[in-house]
Amino acid sequence: MKMATSVNEQITDAVTQSNVKVVPESPAIAMGTLYQSMAHSTGILFENAVSNQRQQDILAQAATTQGVKQIYSVDTMADALAVTTMQDASKS
């Protein structure tokens, strides 16, 4: 024999049906959230890798520019005079 309750049976049936739907879906929702988080983290990882590679390229270009600038700034006239003086000294 049923006990008399003050709650409508339609409400209890609706709550039971929603629990039957929600409980089995929660692991799938949790895994979906995890996969989204991992995809986002991987995207940020690749963005940072590209940014770091660009920074390294800029540093390498700056170092090359400085090296070429130093090579071109050597006083070649003084070297040419020193070589000429050495050649003149060796002839006499």
Over the stretch 26-54, which tens digit does the pLDDT of each residue have?
A: 888 999 999 999 999 999 999 999 999 99
pLDDT of the residue at 35: 97
Residue-wise over 1-24: b if at least 16 C-beta within 10 A, else e?
eeeeeeeeeeeeeeeeeeeeeeee
Res. 57: pLDDT tops 60 = yes
The mean pLDDT of the chain is: 84
Residue-wise over 34-53: b if at least 16 C-beta within 10 A, else e?
eeeeeeeeeeeeeeeeeeee
Residue 72 covered by a domain: yes
Residue 79 covered by a domain: yes
Residue 70 covered by a domain: yes
Tracing tokens 């005079």 back to the chain, one arrives at 81
More confident residue, 65 or 87: 65
Res. 1: pLDDT tops 60 = no
* Domain span holding position 61: 45-92
Q: What is the number of structural domains in the chain? A: 1
The distance in angstroms from the start CA to the end CA of the chain is 134
